[in-house]
Amino acid sequence: MKLEIVSANRLTDGRVVYLSHGGRWSEKIVDGRTARNDKESAALLTEAEASVAKCLVIDPYLLTISDETGAFTAMRLRERIRQFGPKVNQTLDQSV
Amino acid sequence: MYRYDEFDQTFVRQRVAQFRDQVARRLSGDLSEEEFKPLRLMNGLYLQLHAYMLRVAIPYGTFCSRQMRQLADISRHYDRGYGHFTTRQNIQFNWVKLDEVPDILAALAEVEMHAIQTSGNCIRNVTADPFAGAAADEIEDARIWCEIIRQWSTLHPEFSFLPRKFKISVNGAIEDRAALRVHDIGLQLKQNDTGEIGFEVMVGGGQGRTPMIAKSIRSFLPKEELLSYLESILRVYNLLGRRDNKYKARIKILVHDLGAETLANMVEREWQQLREGYVNLPDSELARIACYFAPPDLEDAAETDNGLDRARRANGQFESWLEHNVNAHKQPGYAIVTISLKPEGGVPGDIDADQMEVVADLAQRFSHDELRATYQQNLVLPHVRKRDLHVVWRLLAAHGLSTANHGLISDIIACPGMDYCSLATARSIPVAQSISQRFNDLTRQKNIGDLRLNISGCINACGHHHVGHIGILGLEKNGAENYQITLGGRSDRSAAIGEIIGPAFSAEKIADAVETVIDTYLDLRQPGERFVDAYARLGRGPFKERLYATH
Amino acid sequence: MPLIKNGAITDDPWQFPAEDGPMPETGSVAVSLTQWQREKAVLLARSTPLGLLLTGNDSLDNIVPNITAYDLIAFVFPTFQDGRPYSMARLLRERYGYTGELRATGDVSRDQFLFMYRCGFDAFAVSAGNVIEDWLRAVSEISIWYQPTNDPRSALTTLRHKLHALE
Ligand code: SF4
């Protein structure tokens, strides 16, 4: 089933944040509010845009996650790197 | 090296104040991100995957211990205690906060540094031979001209909104260590038949998705007329460069579309109008700037040193380092030391704050307070007495900075890739790490010999993969990282774009593939033949065969 | 749309008739290059000031022959990223001796003022806001210029030269 959350970068320090409850933004993906269908996704994005107007975040967008392992994990590699940070001391064979 | 006078100092301070105001306007909402972005880019501030990244200019790669110490302080105070040297002789900080950037710029201004024009569609920080002023094969010190270009291009009112970014590089030596031929303009100092010094002007080199080697449009330009000629090229480009498609906006496309000769004629026509005008610097100003680059006070030291010879014989590691990381200096008794920022399994170009301070101390004590950052993401101590080499090496070794791999396969150029960069299609750093671990045996590396392995995390080619003897380009295919290999590229006087060898390899297979390429070369090379030369002789056939052989 | 000229908000006397609209009977008019070429004779017969409304696409070759006929040359910046008018402005001022009003209009913000000013623009049609204060601040933010152009400020080489002459 489709599972999406909204992420953005925080204006003041550029850090990765996820749209959480009550229009707040959290650095932890677990705090992210999820959308399960297009309507919910659109609503999340609209809410995120309000934070852009308030100069809280930059360029919010939707990303697909999975919760199969019990924790939220982004599907795309780029998003996993944003989620976990650069694994600069890890070799290629260990995937993020 | 150049020192700011009161005007330069006032200028950077004003620029900091201006940016402080722009940041405040952004934070208060007066400026939208769309409006603010070009302003922050003009000050080298990017938004990357995890945070803002600040790219600080090290003009033509020349700096001093005081500046290096300030960079170390900045990395501790405002970042995470490290920095990353880039192929453009700049340093990047990966974790800065927007509201602290004006303070960082103020700290940089204190030591005569800034981040102006390290990004955006303007004339970027000018680059040069990192051995300038020291190289044994030098015609004239390129940095005099780099500083003149730096000043001329700083906030140039006419050329701050070019079709696309614009990179100029200058070389004053015989060997090209500045990759001139893959720059928008490459300037090669030379002597003409009557003994005058001037420039050969090459235009339209570049990498990215349409890599091209620059074309020579003037074989000799009297050096005093450099600025009017540059202004002419830039004006033609500013007026005619494409603005409808950012992938076709670099001057290389204009050169390609018009033909080098037509472009040369247009530039020449414009130049005839400009050369008598007020663009060229008066002699007094040329002389003032040249003064700053007078050779340091080097002593008459003996070319050979008994202590050095003894140490060399006694210590194989030191001997290897001398062999690879030490180059000939124009002054007998002196040497140029390259500090490799490519330890086994490390991140190419990264250096931590403690190491920065060690390097600063060494520059101060042993290299007339001079440092260089190189195109290959290493550092250089340009003026070291031969008899000090052993102690310099020991101090470097004590801080993990004595890797003796300059110019070998593990001296890898790699862009930040998807670990940091928001434009990346794949990671570069882990590939560099796995290859440097695979080839960790120095004896094996020495046997392979001179080799440039360059890695980019996307087609923008910041890691110069097109001109690596072996180039690796990271791509994304069906959500997975994939790596395309090119062979035969080079960035020296015989610059060439590498050829794509075949289908890309998965992340797990890429180190094996590199090893196959190397094994093929070792099997087929003639005595003393370098990898690039063997490739030029053999073509891609044998490499392709081995790489894609079905077992 | 406020017009800034000589550091002050000014009334704009110029009319910009639409490409295929009627030509105002009286007053100053500024037209596109196409309109100019089409109605040159009529326009030149008027006794009121004439001007051109140009973009970066227009070629100066078509403007220079009649350069003394214009009292206004306005460049439209469709986006701030269009840098062509900076070169065109310098050419008009420095090579072709144009002395009339040189106006920037379109996507013009205070952060470009200084570049434009130094290339020879002397009038700016800006969107809104506290413009005069912004403008005055913007033009004084940087006082050191490394490049000589023909604006009245001294470039750094001249300043350095003067300083050394004093020493
Ligand atoms: S080559 Fe691509 S991934 Fe690497 S730094 Fe440049 S833009 Fe980023």
Q: What is the per-residue pLDDT across B71-124, written as a single tens digit (0 to 9) for each?
A: 999 999 999 999 999 999 999 999 999 999 999 999 999 999 999 999 999 999
Domains of chain B: 6-110 (3.90.480.20), 142-291 (3.30.413.10), 308-397 (3.90.480.20), 413-549 (3.30.413.10)
Rounded to a whole number of angstroms, the distance from the CA of C25 to the nearest CA of chain B is: 36
Distance B424 CA to ligand 1 centre (A): 5
Percentage of chain C beyond pLDDT 90 is 62
How many domains does one find in chain C?
1
Question: Tens of pLDDT along C43-73?
Answer: 999 999 999 999 999 999 999 999 999 999 9
Question: Tens of pLDDT along B511-549?
Answer: 999 999 999 999 999 999 999 999 999 999 999 999 998
Asked if the model's pLDDT at residue A91 lies above 60, the reply is no
Nearest Cα residue to B17 out of B103, B93, B78, B92: B103
Question: What ipTM was reported for this prediction?
Answer: 0.94
Residue A22 burial class via C-beta count within 10 angstroms: exposed 0-12, middle 13-18, buried 19 and up:
exposed
Question: Tens of pLDDT along C128-137?
Answer: 766 788 887 8
**Residue B387's pLDDT band (cuts 50, 70, 90):** very high
pLDDT recorded at residue C147: 85
Residue with tokens 């403007």: C63
Distance CA A79, CA B281 (A): 51
A57: closest chain B residue by CA: B33
pLDDT recorded at residue C157: 67
Q: Is the CB of B424 under 6 A from ligand 1?
A: yes
**Does C150 fall in a domain?**
no
Please state, rounded to an integer, the average pLDDT across all residues of chain B. 96
Distance B122 CA to ligand 1 centre (A): 19
More confident of the two residues C10 and C156: C10
Question: Tens of pLDDT along B189-230?
Answer: 999 999 999 999 999 999 999 999 999 999 999 999 999 999
Asked if the model's pLDDT at residue B508 lies above 80, the reply is yes
Rounded mean pLDDT of C152-158?
Answer: 66
**Does C81 fall in a domain?**
yes
Mutation test of the interface with chain B: which of A57, A88, A89, A95, choosing the one with the most B Cβ atoms within 10 A? A88
**Residue C148's pLDDT band (cuts 50, 70, 90):** confident
pLDDT recorded at residue B352: 97
Question: Tens of pLDDT along B415-438?
Answer: 999 999 999 999 999 999 999 999
Domain enclosing residue C24, as ranges? 3-142
Question: Tens of pLDDT along A10-51?
Answer: 999 999 999 999 999 999 999 999 999 999 999 999 999 999
Domain enclosing residue A73, as ranges? 3-84
Percentage of chain B beyond pLDDT 90 is 95
**Does A41 fall in a domain?**
yes
Q: Is the CB of B495 under 6 A from ligand 1?
A: no
What CATH number corresponds to the domain at position C56? 3.20.20.70
Q: What is residue B128's three-state secondary structure?
A: strand
**Does C28 fall in a domain?**
yes
- Using a threshold of 3 CB pairs under 8 A, tell whether chains A and C touch: no
Distance CA B522, CA B545 (A): 15
How many domains does one find in chain A?
1
pLDDT recorded at residue A92: 41
pLDDT recorded at residue A88: 47
Cβ separation of A90 and B430 shorter than 8 Å?
A: yes
Question: Tens of pLDDT along B20-38?
Answer: 999 999 999 999 999 999 9
**Does A39 fall in a domain?**
yes
pLDDT recorded at residue B301: 80
Q: Which helix (H) or strand (E) holds B218?
A: strand B215-222
**Does A48 fall in a domain?**
yes
Distance CA A73, CA A64 (A): 9
Distance CA B483, CA B46 (A): 26
Q: Is the CB of B471 under 6 A from ligand 1?
A: no
pLDDT recorded at residue B370: 97
Q: The tokens of A95 are what?
A: 């995937």
H helices present in chain A, as ranges: 38-53, 77-84
**Does C117 fall in a domain?**
yes
Asked if the model's pLDDT at residue A96 lies above 50, the reply is no
pLDDT recorded at residue B520: 98
Q: Which residues of B touch A (CB under 8 A)?
A: 26-29, 33, 47-52, 96-99, 345, 347, 350, 418-420, 424, 427, 429-431, 433-434, 437, 476, 479-481, 507-508, 510-511
**Does A11 fall in a domain?**
yes
Nearest Cα residue to B209 out of B168, B179, B250: B250
Distance B192 CA to ligand 1 centre (A): 40
Stretch among B48-57, C14-23, C85-94 having the lowest mean pLDDT:
C14-23
**Does C23 fall in a domain?**
yes
Asked if the model's pLDDT at residue A89 lies above 50, the reply is no
Cβ separation of C86 and B235 shorter than 8 Å?
A: no
H helices present in B29-100, as ranges: 33-41, 65-78
Rounded mean pLDDT of B168-192?
Answer: 97
**Would strands B168-171 and B127-128 be described as parallel, antiparallel, or unpaired?**
parallel
**Does C8 fall in a domain?**
yes
Cβ B150 vs Cβ B4: under 8 Å: no
B82 φ/ψ angles, rounded to the nearest 5 degrees: -150, 165
* A77 → closest Cβ in B29, B98, B481: B481
Rounded mean pLDDT of C24-35?
Answer: 94
A77: closest chain B residue by CA: B479
